[in-house]
Amino acid sequence: MTTNLQTQPDPRVPAPAPALEVRSLVKHYPGVKALDGVDLVVRQHEVLGLAGENGAGKSTLLKALVGLVRPDGGEIWVRGEKVRLRSVVDAADHGIGMVFQEQSLVPNLTAAENIVLGSEGPGVRRGIYRWSTMRRLAQEQLDKIGSHIDPLARTDTLTFADRQMVEIAKVLRIEERTSHPPVIILDEPTSVLESKEIETLFTQVRRLREFASVVFVSHRLDEVLDVCDRVAVLRGGRSVGEVPAADAAPADLHRMMIGSTGSDDHYHGGAGERPDEASRPRLVVRGLSGKSFRDVDLDVHAGEIVGIVGVHGSGREDVCRALFGAEPTTAGEVVLDGEKLDLSGTRAACAAGVGYVPAERKTEGMVGPMSVADNMTLTKQQSRCTGPLVRPRKQATLVDRWIERLSIRTPHRGTAIQSLSGGNQQKVVLARWLVAGDVRLLLLDHPTRGLDVGARSEVYRLMRELADSGVATVLLADSLEEAIGMSDRIIVMSDGRATTQVAAPAGGKPTPLDLVKEMV
């Protein structure tokens, strides 16, 4: 009994102030109330999960917490003190750092320069870099997450996944910047990581809990429940509740996010006719070679979805880009509907009826300051023009029809696409090829990256509709489960070669383990 009494908190001692607290936060954009009185509490030494559909207000809330957005109302408290966060530097001085989903690195600087940027300390003397010290400071952060990246490598030569690890190492420098227990915000940190890298990250998150507080955001609800202590849910810019992670399941969170029970039935189940394998393939690739791949053979029939899987460095992303003329090839031949495909550039690919949705949506898939309408009709100018002249009414009619059909949440067709949620941005990027109307081959590079359950379901529906209309599709999926669920066949790549082909018909799907055995 005595031991139990000693372990009880003394009611006379006040509980420690939360590491971070948000009270009735409000933020308006033109035509949109992004935050509508959000409340949030992050306790000291805990990992708080933040869940919500795309457009629920998560991104706006996180930007407010790191000084990128100034709220129109409400309060932010850090360790019991009311603060006004006017910039990222201001937030860092209060011990708040963030790993951004859309990467914030400077591409022409080295990994080391990015990691210590703004807090160089002994790495700079009299305005001159001390490269040995810079490398040591950066290496200390990379060692924390078990990364083998060369600190002196230029950032633009690294893969997306490696750049993400640099982002994480960069934010960990906040430990040296402040004497207070820091608050680390991780916004979709696992979106491009392989399973081994995810486990490394989760180990780091659990280590961070010992001396910091963590806000963890991911559209993968199983990850949220695995690594977090509590989960707070936003819907429509409002706080709708929170649950202990140990007492919840993904379906519970999904129900809170959208008001209904989640399901994985949105995967392709072969509802339509399977392509006639005896017919001539729409796409025929023979002996295709490039910088990171060689002797790749690939067939895709009209109406077929073929997934390509492989670990980082397998060459699958470069094959996809090469088929769109965005990556140089050194050998091989590509034939589309019996005609040799010109791989000299993306314009030639578009003219031949090839569409491409890139993995890096923000930098390659859209023009942020341009409107939804202009982004949607960017590829097919004649869809909004009569002769050399733009016809606004013609464009408006076409764009409004697709906004309604795809349930794109936007205040207006003239709204800048960069102000939309990730899911709605992706719908606009996909709609670009639907507007074109003459796409025969569609290349999808991680089309659901960073999207929540509801937005992914919409993308899957569009993929099925396109396949049913006869479009041949090559899919680089966000996960093995997605590749298996959506594909009719799966090609496994390893060390730059297409090594194995696996059938994936409805009712006869392979397991992730079946594919992993071939990938390694």
pLDDT at res. 314: 86
- Give the least confident one: 194-208, 325-339, 493-507: 194-208
Residue 380 has pLDDT above 80, yes or no: no
Residue 8 has pLDDT above 70, yes or no: no
Residue 392 has pLDDT above 60, yes or no: yes
Higher model confidence: residue 76 or residue 165? 76
Higher model confidence: residue 215 or residue 92? 215
For the segment 362-390, the average pLDDT, to the nearest whole number, is 77
Residue 263 has pLDDT above 70, yes or no: no
According to CATH, the superfamily of the domain at 283-353+439-519 is P-loop containing nucleotide triphosphate hydrolases (3.40.50.300)
pTM: predicted TM-score of the whole model, two decimal places: 0.64
pLDDT at res. 75: 96
Domain 18-258 and domain 283-353+439-519, same fold? Reply is yes
Residues in CB range of 186: below 8 A, 6 or more apart: 98, 99, 168, 205, 214, 215, 216, 217
Write 235-243 long-range contacts (CB < 8 A, 24+): 235/52, 235/53, 235/56, 235/259, 236/36, 236/56, 236/57, 237/33, 237/34, 237/35, 237/36, 237/38, 237/56, 237/57, 237/60, 238/36, 238/37, 238/38, 238/57, 239/37, 239/38, 239/39, 239/40
Residue 333 has pLDDT above 80, yes or no: yes
Residue 18: band (very low, low, confident or very high) from pLDDT cuts 50, 70, 90 = very high
pLDDT at res. 141: 87
The fraction of the chain above a pLDDT of 90, given in percent, is 41
| Mean pLDDT of the chain, nearest integer | 85
Residue 4: band (very low, low, confident or very high) from pLDDT cuts 50, 70, 90 = very low
* Residue 500: alpha-carbon gap to chain centroid: 28
The fraction of the chain above a pLDDT of 70, given in percent, is 88
Higher model confidence: residue 124 or residue 60? 60
**What is the enclosing helix (H) or strand (E) of 454?**
helix 453-468
Higher model confidence: residue 64 or residue 431? 64
Q: What secondary structure letter does DSSP report for 146? A: T
Higher model confidence: residue 127 or residue 228? 228
Higher model confidence: residue 60 or residue 189? 60
The full set of domain ranges for the chain reads: 18-258, 283-353+439-519, 368-431
Residue 383: band (very low, low, confident or very high) from pLDDT cuts 50, 70, 90 = low
Higher model confidence: residue 68 or residue 449? 68
Q: In the chain, how long is the greatest CA-to-CA distance?
A: 89
Residue 1 has pLDDT above 50, yes or no: no
pLDDT at res. 349: 92
Residue 93: band (very low, low, confident or very high) from pLDDT cuts 50, 70, 90 = confident
393-416 per-position pLDDT tens digit:
878 888 998 898 888 888 889 999
For the segment 22-48, the average pLDDT, to the nearest whole number, is 90
Residue 330: band (very low, low, confident or very high) from pLDDT cuts 50, 70, 90 = very high
Residue 271: band (very low, low, confident or very high) from pLDDT cuts 50, 70, 90 = very low
pLDDT at res. 520: 63
Quickly tell me which residue has 């390694």 as its tokens.
520
Residue 5: band (very low, low, confident or very high) from pLDDT cuts 50, 70, 90 = very low
pLDDT at res. 504: 92
For the segment 336-340, the average pLDDT, to the nearest whole number, is 95
pLDDT at res. 220: 83
Give the chain's length: 520
For the segment 478-490, the average pLDDT, to the nearest whole number, is 90
Among 242, 194, 193, smallest CA distance to 43 is for 242
Residue 274 has pLDDT above 60, yes or no: no
In this structure, whether the domain defined by 18-258 belongs to CATH 3.40.50.300 is answered with: yes
Q: Strands 329-336 and 283-290: what pairing?
A: antiparallel
416-457 per-position pLDDT tens digit:
998 888 778 888 988 888 886 789 999 999 888 777 777 788
- Give the least confident one: 105-119, 165-179, 405-419: 165-179
pLDDT at res. 476: 94
Higher model confidence: residue 467 or residue 254? 467
Work out the number of other CB atoms within 10 angstroms of the CB of residue 193: 18
C-alpha span between 499 and 517 (Å, rounded): 12
DSSP string computed for 198-232: HHHHHHHHHHHTTTSEEEEE-S-HHHHHHH-SEEE
